Structure 1
Amino acid sequence: MKSLLKFTAICGALIMMTGCGGGGGDSQSNGSNTNPNTENPSTPLTEQQIQNIIAISNETVPGIARENLLHGIVDTLIYGGDQVLDGEKKCSSGSYTKTGDVVIFDNCKGLFETATGLNQHQYLTVVSGKVTVTEGSYDYQDVVLLDADSGESQKVSGKFNISGNDNNAVVTTDKLNILATEKIANAFADVTYLLENYKLNYDKKSGLELALTTIGTLTVTNSTVGDYKIKFETTQPLFVQIDAAQDDAIVSYPYSGVLKITDLNNSAITTLTANNDKKTALVSIIANQKELANGIQNWADILGYSK
Structure 2
Amino acid sequence: MLPSLTSILSRLRLKHMQLLVAIEDHGSLHKAARAISISQPGATKVLQEIEVSIGMLLFERTSKGIVANEAGRCVTRYSRLICNDIAHMREEITGLIEGAGGHIAVGAVMGAMPLLTKAVHELRKEQPSLSIEIFEDNSGNLMNQLAQGRLDLALCRPAMGHKLSATDSLPLSDEPIAVVTHIQHPLARIKRLNFSKLASYPWIFYTANMPMRRAIERELQQSGLEPIQPSLETASAVATIMLLQQDPSLVAALPEDVARFFAQNQLVALLDIDITPSMGDCNIVKRQDAQLTPAAHLLISRLYLNIGKTYDPDNWQG
TM-score, normalised to structure 1's length?
Answer: 0.21
Q: What is the TM-score with the length of structure 2 in the denominator?
A: 0.20
Structure (1 or 2) with the greater strand fraction: 1
Which protein shows a greater Rg?
2
From the two aligned structures, give the one with the greater helix fraction: 2
